[in-house]
């Protein structure tokens, strides 16, 4: 199908119209791209308006600003946009940040289930289904550029009006070319059949008039012989008066061809194409307006709840339908959260309601899921935060840390809580399979999901108990940190490192015979301490107000922990009484209302924020449970005091000797300097074989240490060991004394007999 060499006059009218378009209102949002980049920053209110009905072919990248692969791909996409910016308006490039809450709905409508996703829209597209997923051959500029050309060539039924023809030139077209087209020059580029040089140069000259560029294939022997072409690739410049000269460009340099043709006399740019996004000044500050100062030794409930919020309201809400394996994984994920997440009671009620709603369903539409996730007024004591709030996972920029950091934190917490609550030796973990299923079906960064699936398929089946699950997730997290360290997704303010660092657990890292090693026992002790319930803080959280002016969040995370310690029966009883309390319609007695202390967190207040005592109705079930409820005011005071005394037992733990199985594993990732630690060990008289160890016990990861009674020749003996030795000594002495008495009596008896020989 032959096309004219230049766009017809109606297509010329489209360019001024594009120049008059105002900047899209949603294009000024900042993610991984800025308005200075030569591409369109699209939003929920501009995507459809820009793409649908457009005379241009569009290639749109759907990305998430937190996605590690998106962060690494952004420089490539920017470079591609600069490389093909002269192809406009025939081909347009755009981006949209699906991590922005305002864009989540539109990304879901375009069926975006992973990031980054490239979609090609042919000219005059009408709906989301017209977008074709851009399965590019690689992330290099050359491969992406060639894939775009292939997509444009496939637009047989809707050719971009501003784009000249890209098919091979024929001898029949040559005879009447200048009569049909009012141009001064015709540039012929002779190339191999699989070469893209001619098509790239053709698109580079889209914005220039008075010249046409066509490609001639090496297999076209008629034209090759007619112009006596002996070198491939090469170029010829034909004038309208019939003369012909060789284009003095050696090799296949696209840039040299384009530069030569643009400098020809009479060849001018039609109009300098103005981007559809007006450049705006990028914010000077790289940190958020309100920087939350976080302590790396703490866990923050804000991060954990934000991870749950994002997994349910963003990740799971991307799909138009939830059914079969995906719905089964979602049910399992919610069930694991209910079982092991030590959250506030208001959040746990929300999860239980969601689990009850999901139970009988076999198919859930997107609208049904969004309705089920909505906070409802009729359930004031069952709510999720409305928006994410990163504290310990806050990054120096919007694209750093955030959701991936909080998701790792959440699953580390769940594995530890599972090991603490059900420490049976050979019971398999249910948290790790749930995490694997969630990442496989829901995690937006598809390259990250594939990496995790590879690690899981490699060794997850060999995990036999809960403690091994904790260590497996720890080691795989460090492997990911080692792989991503120093990449574009690495926050320069919080560089990825092998965790835990020395400042948090100096006994976890050792040097044995010049080799850096992890002490797995020390790591396990640290994890059970760091990811315990008592280490979760409510800093920087906002509490919503209830009907009677009270905080809706009236239960601290420790309150929920106290209920769980009473067993599942106590939990159900507390829930029944809680529901009864919320259904009460009579007004509370004003004289009995609790006074809330000032300050919303522990770090910002002059005094520690004490959680309120759990109120329960005076029913039979409540009176039955009343003796088991802990006064959280006094409990929190004891907790704060115990935090200050925590260093004392740790000092004695550092001097414990190792067992035969040391539990040492080599370190992955960046090196550490252990000279100071090794000198301290030698100063205390400990050698390479004397590795510190301890027994892990107690909920929350606290260590129960056996006191050493005395030392003899460098070997420590406990009181039990000495008692057993004394007991055995007494028993052996009694046996020896009995044998001595028996033989002595027997000798006397034989001496008294007449036949016994006398001396």
Name the superfamily (CATH) of residues 299-495.
Answer: ERV/ALR sulfhydryl oxidase domain (1.20.120.310)
Question: Six-digit token pair at 612?
Answer: 């309120």
The structure tokens listed for 634 are 């006094």
How remote is the C-alpha of 497 from its chain's centroid?
16
Q: Which residue has the tokens 């790289």?
A: 286
Least confident of 22-31, 157-166, 344-353: 22-31
Burial of 373 (0-12, 13-18, 19+ CB in 10 A): middle
Give 696-726 pLDDT, tens digit per residue: 334 344 333 444 444 444 445 566 677 788 8
CB-based burial, 320-351: b 16+ in 10 Å, e otherwise: eebeeebbebbbebbbbbebbbbbbbbbbbbb
70 catalytic? Reply is yes
pLDDT at 309 over 70: yes
Is the model's pLDDT at 324 over the cut of 60?
Answer: yes
The answer to whether domain 9-153 and domain 171-269 are alike in fold is yes
For the stretch 426-440, pLDDT in tens is: 788 899 999 999 999
**Lowest mean pLDDT across 84-93, 338-347, 540-549, 597-606:** 597-606
Whether 690 has a pLDDT exceeding 60, the answer reads no
- Asked if pLDDT for residue 670 goes beyond 70, the answer is no
**Is the per-residue pLDDT at 599 higher than 70?**
no
Mean pLDDT of the chain: 75
pLDDT in tens, 464-475: 889 999 999 999
H or E stretch including 748?
Answer: helix 719-751
DSSP state of 315: I
Strands (E), 522-659: 536-537
Residue 472 to residue 415: CA distance in whole angstroms: 10
- Assess contact for 691 and 653: CB atoms under 8 A: no
Domain ranges of the chain: 9-153, 171-269, 299-495, 706-746
Instruction: Name the catalytic one among 67, 98, 107, 505.
Output: 67
**pLDDT at residue 137 in the model:** 60
Most confident range (mean pLDDT) of 179-183, 468-472, 607-611 is: 468-472
Question: Which tens digit of pLDDT belongs to each residue from 364-411?
Answer: 998 999 999 999 888 888 999 988 899 999 988 888 898 999 999 999
Kindly name the residue from 70, 107, 405, 448 that is annotated as catalytic. 70
The Cα–Cα gap between 168 and 189 comes to 10
pLDDT for residue 9 is more than 90: no
The predicted pLDDT at position 419 comes to: 92
Mean pLDDT score, 586-595: 40
Report how far residue 446's alpha carbon sits from residue 636's, in angstroms, rounded to the nearest whole number. Answer: 43
Torsions phi, psi for 533 (to 5 deg): -60, -35
| Rounded Cα distance, 701 and 711, in Å | 28
β-bridge mates for residue 331, sequence order: none
Residue 425: the pLDDT is 67
67 carries an active-site annotation: yes
User: Per residue in 182-203, pLDDT tens?
Assistant: 889 999 999 998 899 999 999 9
pLDDT band at 508 (very low <50, low <70, confident <90, very high): very high
- Neighbour-count burial of 303, counting CB atoms closer than 10 A to its CB (0-12 exposed, 13-18 middle, 19+ buried): buried
In this structure, the strands spanning 185-191 and 234-239 are antiparallel
In this prediction, residue 615 has a pLDDT band, given cuts at 50, 70 and 90, of: very low
Look at strands 57-63 and 91-97 and give their pairing: parallel
Cα gap 23→654, rounded to integer Å: 64
Position 99 scores a pLDDT of: 87
Identify the burial level of 138 via C-beta atoms within 10 angstroms of its C-beta, where 0-12 means exposed, 13-18 middle and 19 or more buried: exposed
- The answer to whether residues 68 and 484 touch, using CB atoms and an 8 Å cutoff, is yes
Look at residue 758 and tell me whether its pLDDT is greater than 80.
no
C-alpha distances in Å from residue 281, one per residue of 14, 416, 658: 29, 46, 60
* CATH 2.40.160.10 correct for 171-269: no
Supply the CATH classification number for the domain 9-153.
3.40.30.10
Going from the C-alpha of 433 to that of each of 429, 453, 460, 462, 516, the distances in angstroms are: 7, 11, 8, 12, 31
Name the most confidently modeled range: 225-229, 452-456, 623-627.
Answer: 452-456
Residue 130 has pLDDT above 50, yes or no: yes
Tell me what pLDDT residue 757 has. 53
pLDDT at 270: 82
Sign of CA dihedral 734, 739, 742, 745: negative
């Amino acid at each position: 199908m032959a096309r004219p060499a230049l766009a017809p006059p109606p297509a010329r009218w489209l360019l001024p119209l594009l120049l008059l378009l105002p900047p899209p209102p949603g294009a000024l949002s900042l993610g991984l791209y800025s308005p200075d980049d030569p591409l369109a920053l699209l939003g929920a209110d501009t995507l459809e308006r820009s793409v649908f009905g457009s005379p241009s072919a569009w290639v749109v990248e759907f990305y998430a600003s937190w996605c590690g692969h998106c962060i690494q791909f952004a420089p490539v996409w920017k470079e591609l946009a600069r490389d093909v910016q002269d192809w406009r308006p025939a081909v347009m490039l755009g981006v949209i940040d699906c991590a922005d809450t305002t864009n989540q709905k539109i990304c879901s409508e375009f069926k975006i289930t992973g990031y980054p996703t490239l979609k090609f829209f042919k000219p005059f597209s009408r709906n989301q289904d017209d977008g074709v997923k851009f399965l590019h051959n690689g992330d290099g500029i050359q491969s992406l550029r060639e894939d775009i050309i292939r997509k444009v060539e496939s637009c047989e039924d809707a050719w971009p009006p501003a784009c000249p023809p890209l098919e091979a030139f024929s001898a029949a077209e040559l005879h009447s070319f200048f009569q049909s087209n009012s141009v001064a020059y015709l540039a012929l580029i002779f190339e191999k059949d699989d070469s893209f040089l001619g098509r790239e140069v053709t698109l580079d000259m889209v914005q220039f008039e008075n010249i046409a560029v066509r490609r001639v294939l090496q297999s076209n022997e008629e034209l090759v012989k007619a112009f006596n072409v002996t070198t491939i690739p090469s170029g010829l410049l034909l004038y309208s008066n019939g003369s012909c000269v060789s284009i003095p460009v050696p090799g296949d340099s696209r840039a040299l061809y384009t530069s030569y043709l643009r400098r020809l006399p009479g060849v001018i740019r039609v109009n300098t194409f103005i981007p559809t996004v007006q450049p705006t000044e990028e914010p000077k500050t790289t940190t958020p307006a309100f920087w939350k100062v976080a302590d790396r030794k703490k866990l923050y409930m804000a991060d954990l709840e934000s991870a749950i919020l994002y997994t349910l309201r963003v990740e799971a809400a991307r799909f138009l339908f939830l059914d079969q394996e995906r719905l089964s994984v979602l049910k399992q994920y919610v069930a694991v959260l209910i079982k092991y997440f030590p959250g506030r009671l208001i959040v746990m009620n929300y999860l239980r309601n969601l689990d009850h709603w999901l139970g009988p369903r076999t198919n859930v539409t997107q609208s049904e899921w969004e309705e089920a996730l909505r906070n409802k007024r009729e359930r004031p004591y069952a709510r999720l935060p409305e928006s994410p709030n990163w504290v310990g996972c806050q990054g120096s920029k919007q694209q750093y840390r955030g959701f991936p950091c909080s998701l790792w934190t959440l699953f580390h917490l769940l594995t530890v809580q599972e090991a603490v609550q059900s420490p049976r030796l050979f019971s398999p973990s249910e948290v790790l399979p749930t995490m694997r299923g969630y990442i496989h079906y829901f995690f937006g960064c598809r390259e990250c999901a594939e990496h995790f699936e590879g690690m899981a398929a490699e060794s997850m089946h060999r995990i036999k108990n809960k403690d091994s699950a904790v260590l497996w997730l720890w080691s795989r997290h460090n492997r990911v940190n080692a792989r991503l360290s120093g990449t574009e997704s690495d926050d320069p303010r919080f560089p990825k490192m092998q965790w835990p660092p020395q400042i948090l657990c100096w006994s976890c890292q050792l040097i044995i015979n010049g080799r850096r090693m992890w002490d797995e026992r020390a790591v396990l002790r640290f994890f059970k301490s760091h990811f315990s319930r008592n280490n979760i803080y409510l800093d920087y959280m906002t509490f919503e107000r209830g009907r009677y002016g009270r905080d809706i969040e009236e239960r601290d995370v420790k309150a929920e922990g106290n209920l769980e310690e009473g067993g599942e029966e106590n939990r159900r009883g507390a829930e029944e009484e809680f529901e009864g309390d919320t259904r009460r319609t009579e007004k509370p007695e004003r004289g009995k209302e609790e006074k809330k202390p000032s300050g919303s967190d522990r770090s910002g207040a002059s005094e520690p924020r004490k959680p309120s005592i759990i109120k329960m109705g005076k029913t039979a079930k409540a009176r039955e449970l009343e003796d088991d409820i802990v006064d959280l005011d006094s409990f929190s005071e004891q907790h704060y005091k115990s935090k200050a005394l925590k260093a004392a037992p740790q000092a004695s733990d550092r001097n414990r000797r190792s067992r035969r199985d040391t539990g040492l594993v080599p370190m992955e990732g960046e090196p550490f300097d252990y000279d100071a630690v090794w000198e301290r060990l030698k100063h205390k008289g400990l050698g390479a074989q004397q590795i510190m160890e301890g027994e892990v016990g107690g909920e929350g990861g606290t260590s129960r240490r056996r006191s050493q009674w005395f030392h003899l020749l460098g070997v420590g003996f406990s009181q039990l060991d000495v008692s057993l030795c004394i007991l055995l000594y007494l028993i052996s002495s009694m046996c020896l004394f009995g044998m001595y008495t028996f033989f002595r009596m027997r000798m006397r008896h034989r001496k008294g007999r007449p036949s016994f020989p006398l001396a």
